Chain A
Amino acid sequence: MFRIMKKSLATGVVTGQYPAAKSPTEPVSREAIEKAKPFRRSLTIREVDTGSCNACEMEMNALANPVYDVERFGVHIAASPRHTDALVVTGPVTVNMERALKDVYKQTPDPRLVIALGDCAINCGVFKGSYAVTGPVERHIPVDVRIPGCPPRPAEILAVLDRLRGAHTETDE
Chain B
Amino acid sequence: MNDGSAAVERIRGAFALAITDIGSVHGVPMLRLLKQDVPAVARYIHTDPHVRGSLSLLWAVDHRPREARYELCYLFTLADRKDWLLLSVDLTGGEREFASITPVVHAAKWYEREIRDLFGLIPVGHPDMRRLVRHEHWPKGSHPLKKEFDWDQVLGRVQGEYAFRKIHGDGVFEIPVGPIHAGIIEPGHFRFSVAGEPILQLEVRHFWKHRGVEKLFEQQRLTEAVPLAERVSGDTSVGHGLAYCQAVETLLGVTVPPRARYLRSLFLELERLHNHIGDVGAICNDTAYVVAHAHCGRLKEQLMQLNDRLTGSRFLRGVNTVGGVSMDLSGVQLSQVDAELQAIEREFAGIEKILFANASLTERLENTGVLSEHIAWDHAVMGVVGRASGIDRDLRRDRPFAAYHECPPKMAVYRYGDVRARMRVRLDEVHDSIRLIRALHRQLPMGLLITQSVEVPTPGQWAISAVEGWRGEIIYVVMAGAEGRIHRCKVRDPSFVHWPAIQWAALGNIVPDFPLINKSFNLSYAGNDL
Contact = CB atoms under 8 A, between A and B. Distances in A.
A131 B233 contact: no
Nearest to B135: A96
A125 B209 contact: no
A141 interface: no
B182 A79 contact: yes
B211 A130 contact: yes
B27 interface: no
B212 A133 contact: yes
Interface in B22-38: none
A131 B144 contact: yes
A148 interface: no
B174 interface: no
Interface residues of A, number: 53
Interface stretch (B4-12, B319-327, B351-359, B362-370): B351-359
B234 A53 contact: yes
A51 B180 contact: no
B237 A55 contact: yes
Contacts, number: 155
A126 B309 CA distance: 25
B298 A130 contact: no
Interface stretch (A24-32, A33-41, A42-50, A165-173): A42-50
Contact of B215 (A79, A126, A130, A153): A130
Nearest to A120: B231
A58 B216 contact: no
B187 A126 contact: no
Interface string A69-87: 0000000010111000000
Interface string B203-221: 0000111111101100000
The listed residue with most B CB atoms (<10 A of its CB), out of A91, A130, A150, is A130
B498 to A, nearest CB: 15
B153 to A, nearest CB: 5
B179 A3 contact: no
A151 B152 contact: no
A3 B357 contact: yes
B150 interface: yes
Contact of A62 (B227, B304, B353): B304
B301 to A, nearest CB: 4
Interface string A48-64: 11111111111111101
Contacts of B234: 52-58, 151
Interface residues of B, number: 58
B182 A97 contact: no
Contacts of A67: 297-298, 301
Interface string B169-206: 00000000001101111110000000000000000000
B211 A127 contact: yes
Contacts of A97: 179, 187, 208-209
B404 interface: no
Interface string A91-113: 11011110110001000000000
A110 to B, nearest CB: 19
A65 B298 contact: yes
Given A4-B354, A130-B216, A131-B212, A100 B155 contact: no
A54 B315 CA distance: 11
Given A53-B232, A131-B150, A95 B237 contact: no
A126 B216 contact: yes
B346 to A, nearest CB: 10
B278 to A, nearest CB: 8
Contacts of B314: 59, 151, 153
Given A65-B294, A79-B182, A130-B152, A96 B354 contact: no
A96 B210 contact: yes
B183 A79 contact: yes
B143 to A, nearest CB: 11
A95 B187 contact: no
Interface string B115-143: 00000000000000000000101100000
Interface string A145-168: 000001101000000000000000
Given A7-B351, A100-B179, A130-B151, A54 B301 contact: no
Contact of B233 (A53, A104, A150): A53
Contact of A125 (B137, B231, B298, B524): B231
Interface in B449-464: none
A142 interface: no
B209 to A, nearest CB: 5
A99 B354 CA distance: 45
A19 B305 contact: yes
B76 interface: no
Contacts of A100: 179-180, 187, 208
A68 B347 CA distance: 20
B235 interface: yes
B297 A94 contact: no
Interface of B: 135, 137-138, 144, 149-155, 179-180, 182-187, 207-213, 215-216, 227-228, 231-235, 237, 291, 294-295, 297-298, 300-301, 304-305, 308, 314-315, 317, 347, 350-351, 353-354, 357, 524-526
29 contacts: A3-B353, A4-B354, A7-B351, A11-B347, A14-B298, A18-B305, A50-B187, A50-B209, A51-B526, A53-B233, A55-B231, A57-B186, A58-B315, A65-B294, A65-B297, A67-B298, A77-B184, A91-B209, A96-B210, A97-B187, A100-B187, A126-B227, A129-B151, A131-B153, A131-B215, A133-B211, A150-B231, A151-B234, A151-B315
Which 3 A-B pairs rank lowest in CB-CB distance, beginning with the nearest? A55-B234, A65-B297, A53-B234
Given A49-B186, A62-B297, A95-B155, 19 more contacts: A7-B354, A49-B187, A53-B231, A53-B232, A58-B315, A62-B300, A65-B298, A66-B294, A77-B184, A81-B180, A91-B209, A92-B211, A99-B137, A100-B187, A127-B231, A131-B149, A131-B151, A131-B215, A133-B211
